[in-house]
Structure 1
């Protein structure tokens, strides 16, 4: 990985510069709005995968595709109609599936396979999920081709970066150790840490009333290493500068692809939780982009 050169600090509240490879131009998205009174948008939900497992008490010889319920409830609570997206099969190709949705939510879940970004695993403990990677990357590319807005969560955030040409840390404790706990198996989504919204970034503009220092949940051991071309950082982990959020440049133009991704799990946050960065602006931004592309 190439060494980073320091440049003038672009963040509020950080005492050290933002690495040069983390700098991107900004774009403009509108702050949150409420579309509950309008016709429900059809929100595609990417699939999580479970493969045959003899230890499983049911369907143990079968591959299961599923959605985590918190994600579905978040979409429905915001006024969207969730549509589950299986792997294309038979007469139903990817074009047909994507044509049925107004926007896409990329779910979290399994690790990304290092081979998906041209690396080899540093440990047999983290082989990743190349089958799901192939599905996700094809879905991302098709949505970008068809100008379908994307909201990417945790693994979805990571695979979006990979699909656009970026790379990942396979394990933070080994490849980028710090004092920040990004994962605690016992606490799970109760594991929280501080993060910094990047002043002037489009992502920060989604949170005009929030402090530049915020708190997010954290359930990951992989993370973005090299940022893909075309992405703009919007949030960094406060003490170790791990990338926590980005947006795709040009998304303010309805004729260009829109994507926003976060490393945390907003679907696990209650709407009235005063301790964590609110999730509502994220879904509102997705809905606004979808509505803009309908007009």
Structure 2
């Protein structure tokens, strides 16, 4: 592929709360994703939430790879559990859209990078489950939703050097990341393996073992770090380099 690859970014919906357009739905995605893709050499292509399977198939046809962005809690309905007390806001419309998007991308062999909610829905779509809150997981003690700025580094992760992340932190087995989530992966989906964990054992990254495609998910937010953080920049550059050479 000689041209810049087109990187689809899954969108969400923002609802205006006040004024003339109160209740009005706006298609949206965090601009940090857009900026990170451009800086890494890709062309961002925002895919808005919709329920039309033909439109979703057409969108996946039009892109070279897919980034699943962050957002709401994944509904436990998607992994056959009842809602627990600490579950936060869910968005079933987006769960369905994301599931169709991931399924279509996997079917067509498009590389996928899941970020925060993106890794969670990627895991669930492929048969995994989630802890609805970190407090329901045994021995998890790290602050996983940091109280500092979004581009501050919060805690460490240990990475699998034989994975997509192997050279991200200059070949080191640990690195520093930011953290903005209250749910974590529980049962890892069949065919995926853990490639990053925080010191308390929380799963911070997974990767699908397949020779002909790259499917990886990260629990942190490299797009919020990418303006100034080299490892975060490397994540997007390595992903887009893979897409370009695929």
User: Cα 1:204–1:186, aligned 2, differ >3 Å: closer, same or farther?
Assistant: closer
Shift of residue 177, structure 1, vs aligned partner: 5.3
Secondary structure of 1:84's counterpart equals strand
Shift of residue 206, structure 1, vs aligned partner: 3.5
2:69 and 2:82 mapped to 1: Cα distance?
24
User: Cα 1:189–1:110, aligned 2, differ >3 Å: closer, same or farther?
Assistant: farther
Match of 1:285 in 2: 238
Say how many residue pairs are matched: 246
Match of 1:209 in 2: 170
Match of 1:66 in 2: 28
Match of 2:206 in 1: 246
2:185 and 2:177 mapped to 1: Cα distance?
16
Q: Identify the match of residue 148 of structure 1 among 85, 90, 110.
A: 110
Shift of residue 198, structure 1, vs aligned partner: 2.4
Secondary structure of 2:46's counterpart equals strand
TM-score of the superposition, structure 2-length normalised? 0.90
Secondary structure of 1:109's counterpart equals coil
RMSD: 2.4
Shift of residue 187, structure 1, vs aligned partner: 4.5
Shift of residue 197, structure 1, vs aligned partner: 1.1
User: Cα 1:173–1:188, aligned 2, differ >3 Å: closer, same or farther?
Assistant: farther
2:190 and 2:104 mapped to 1: Cα distance?
18
Shift of residue 133, structure 1, vs aligned partner: 0.7
1:58 and 1:117 mapped to 2: Cα distance?
39
Match of 1:236 in 2: 197
Question: 2:93 aligned with 1:131, yes or no?
Answer: yes
2:197 and 2:30 mapped to 1: Cα distance?
26
1:123 and 1:161 mapped to 2: Cα distance?
22
Secondary structure of 2:236's counterpart equals helix
Shift of residue 145, structure 1, vs aligned partner: 0.4
1:189 and 1:142 mapped to 2: Cα distance?
32
Secondary structure of 1:279's counterpart equals helix
Aligned ranges 1:187-226 → 2 under 5 Å:
187-190=149-152, 192-199=154-161, 201-207=162-168, 209-226=170-187
2:223 and 2:127 mapped to 1: Cα distance?
26
Match of 2:68 in 1: 106
Q: Identify the match of residue 3 of structure 2 among 31, 35, 39.
A: 39
Verify the 8 A CA contact 2:111 2:214 in the aligned structure 1.
yes
Instruction: Give unpaired runs (5+ residues) of structure 2.
Output: none
Q: Identify the match of residue 77 of structure 1 among 39, 59, 64.
A: 39
Match of 2:140 in 1: 178
User: Cα 1:224–1:58, aligned 2, differ >3 Å: closer, same or farther?
Assistant: farther
Bigger radius of gyration: 1
Q: Per-residue CA shift, 1:6-42, capped at 9, x if unaligned?
A: xxxxxxxxxxxxxxxxxxxxxxxxxxxxx9xx52111
Verify the 8 A CA contact 1:88 1:97 in the aligned structure 2.
no
Question: 2:86 aligned with 1:86, yes or no?
Answer: no
Instruction: Give unpaired runs (5+ residues) of structure 1.
Output: 1-34
Verify the 8 A CA contact 1:183 1:191 in the aligned structure 2.
no
